[in-house]
Chain A
């Protein structure tokens, strides 16, 4: 495996009698989005501040590309740390400076860029974070959410190779929360930086994270992909994940994968062995091309709307849905067989072609769409029985997917 970009080996940190980190071991890899989750006060921010050198460990070592901070010369360490930028939990904005000056500060003080170039870069970030109306305002004149976006813009303005986000979505409404996560994902994809994030936005962060680190009882108890976290059996899941998931998906009403599994098993326990059920898997194809033409945020919004549409349609007939992946949804029809599912899917397809696809586009009406885009939505279904594992039924449905709707737009308008 590659050498980790950042590695903690037995890092311990105490503040007086209080142990915050106790022999913490973790690895963070380059060009990935790594999210640290845990309860408030668990030491997530302290962990992040160790990475950027604001706090030094009492014991243990922190390695940057295989070399310990402790063994580096001052110049070497400064060179490593200069590749990082940090977004503070409480924003740490300069309250005597305007929004523009706050964002321009690192460029003015650490680069030799011309005034015009600084202005171009700052205004680009201001536009991306929807702060154009607040350019000349002071932080105290902004809402908490807007202050958060100023801090985000300042963290991104230097185009750092490693960006640390300390709870970037705290205090945001659900729409802004998802917009910020989408923005992090979009920039990470576009600029190729390594994102290290502390967040409570579970399960939203699963969709943008390559790796999850779980901090519990002063230690890292889990490192792995969001999918691996689903199968992780530890008290951490009961205390942290379950409590945080209660707030998830305010907009779509979709189940998280864990809730989906719980409902799935609960439904099947009540069933006789010979009774069948149907799983339908929906996918949006050619995601990369769509992201390139629409932008990550618009795309996320469209997918979210698609999830809402699917959930409303099948929820009315007793189905329940979840988001499997960034572009994939699964719906369970607990009381259906293959013939019935085929008819239901046919109805859905007609309805979706007539109205659904337009609803999805309408979600981002204010976004400027390119002249011609192509949306292809596929669906496949498979029959399962109580003894069949959920994953195998989903896989079977996935393998039977075929195109159910295609949206084409040209100069004359939409054609689905």
Chain B
């Protein structure tokens, strides 16, 4: 008997009656993922725009300062540590590469430009994602599943204004500052390994840094930091805010998976955006 195809037929019923080939299934899977990706992209863009506009509402200043402390000030120590060793490794590797050509005097140039143009913004963003981004997702996710965000709604407190806007504002302020800190300490790290440990002339090192770094290099690096700030704050807040909408899990597990997704997606998007922004600025 021929199967009926009324509007209530479920996909699994149809699949039972009509053998579905593997390529068709693959095509359907890719289609579903693409639709989901487009939906999420649109939703997160609207989410970002609404939250950004609410930065300028009253009563936001103290909340932004509080988030600056959590996202910015409390990340500074780990940024300093990572940047110091990044600069030292960079100085060490670059020295042995340059010495083959007798160009060890260019160490300052290499370390400074690598840090200011690329490593500074990217590594700072990844470190903040790991430290503060994951915390943002987890905190907002828990607030969502424990109905604290619904409670804000019932109290006529806009959750985007109260929870998300201060985090986006604090990220936009703190990412460039922490990137500048990373660059500075990184150059000092290069000095330690190159000058103090390997004997490059200190005057040459700093002269090369000063002579090779242009203001455009610094502004390009800070533009990247701003782009990464928007990406990390949006992705991490969005994943936490909609943790309850996940279809693969619920409750605490959903918060855990959202946190993982937020960190992985942020890191991937940082690297993708780094390429796109670099190609636009170069």
For the complex formed, measure the closest distance between the CB of A51 and the CB atoms of chain B, giving whole angstroms: 10
For the complex formed, measure the closest distance between the CB of A87 and the CB atoms of chain B, giving whole angstroms: 9
The proximity string for A residues 159-202 relative to B, scoring 1 for CB distances below 8 Å and 0 otherwise, is 00000000000000000000000000000000000000000000
The proximity string for A residues 85-108 relative to B, scoring 1 for CB distances below 8 Å and 0 otherwise, is 110101011110000000001101
Q: Tell me, yes or no, whether A109 is within 8 Å of chain B by CB.
A: yes
Contact A94 B148 (CB under 8 A): yes
Partner of A54, one of B59, B143, B150, B156: B150
Contact A106 B147 (CB under 8 A): no
Contact A54 B153 (CB under 8 A): yes
Contact B146 A106 (CB under 8 A): no
Give the chain B neighbours of A85 by CB distance below 8 A.
Answer: 154-155
Q: Tell me, yes or no, whether B98 is within 8 Å of chain A by CB.
A: no
A106 to B156, CA, bound (A): 8
Find residues 144-181 in chain B having any chain A CB closer than 8 Å to their own CB: 146-148, 150-151, 153-157, 162
Interface size class of A (residues with CB under 8 A): 20 to 34
Q: Tell me, yes or no, whether A52 is within 8 Å of chain B by CB.
A: yes
For the complex formed, measure the closest distance between the CB of A92 and the CB atoms of chain B, giving whole angstroms: 4
A54 to B153, CA, bound (A): 8
Give the interface segment out of A76-84, A296-304, A332-340.
A76-84
- Smallest CB-CB separation from B151: which chain A residue? A92
A84 to B151, CA, bound (A): 12
Q: Tell me, yes or no, whether A158 is within 8 Å of chain B by CB.
A: yes
Q: Tell me, yes or no, whether A274 is within 8 Å of chain B by CB.
A: no
Partner of A92, one of B146, B156, B157, B162: B146
A82 to B143, CA, bound (A): 22
Give the chain A neighbours of B155 by CB distance below 8 A.
Answer: 85, 105-106, 109-110, 158
The proximity string for B residues 42-66 relative to A, scoring 1 for CB distances below 8 Å and 0 otherwise, is 0000000000000000010000000
Contact B147 A84 (CB under 8 A): no
- A81-B147 contact given A109-B59, A109-B162, CB 8 Å threshold: no
Give the chain B neighbours of A81 by CB distance below 8 A.
Answer: 156
The proximity string for A residues 286-298 relative to B, scoring 1 for CB distances below 8 Å and 0 otherwise, is 0000000000000
A93 to B154, CA, bound (A): 13
Partner of B156, one of A82, A93, A108: A82
- Smallest CB-CB separation from A89: which chain B residue? B147
Give the chain B neighbours of A90 by CB distance below 8 A.
Answer: 146-147
Contact A54 B154 (CB under 8 A): yes
Partner of A105, one of B146, B147, B157: B157
A43 to B154, CA, bound (A): 19
Contact A92 B59 (CB under 8 A): no
Give the chain A neighbours of B59 by CB distance below 8 A.
Answer: 108-109
Find residues 108-125 in chain B having any chain A CB closer than 8 Å to their own CB: none
Find residues 246-283 in chain A having any chain B CB closer than 8 Å to their own CB: none
A175 to B202, CA, bound (A): 79
Contact A88 B150 (CB under 8 A): yes
A267 to B147, CA, bound (A): 51
Contact B147 A88 (CB under 8 A): yes
Find residues 94-148 in chain B having any chain A CB closer than 8 Å to their own CB: 143, 146-148
State the A residues within 8 Å of B (CB).
49, 52-54, 78, 81-82, 84-86, 88, 90, 92-95, 105-106, 108-110, 158
State the B residues within 8 Å of A (CB).
59, 143, 146-148, 150-151, 153-157, 162
Known: A53-B153, A94-B143. 17 other contacts (CB 8 A): A54-B153, A81-B156, A84-B154, A86-B151, A86-B154, A88-B151, A90-B146, A92-B151, A93-B148, A95-B148, A106-B155, A106-B156, A108-B59, A109-B155, A109-B162, A110-B156, A158-B155
Can you list 21 pairs linking A and B with CB atoms under 8 Å apart? Answer: A49-B150, A52-B154, A54-B154, A78-B156, A84-B154, A88-B151, A90-B147, A92-B146, A92-B148, A92-B150, A92-B151, A94-B151, A95-B148, A105-B155, A106-B155, A106-B156, A106-B157, A109-B59, A110-B155, A110-B156, A110-B157
Q: Can you list the 6 inter-chain pairs with the closest CB atoms, starting with the nearest?
A: A92-B151, A86-B154, A92-B147, A106-B155, A109-B157, A82-B156
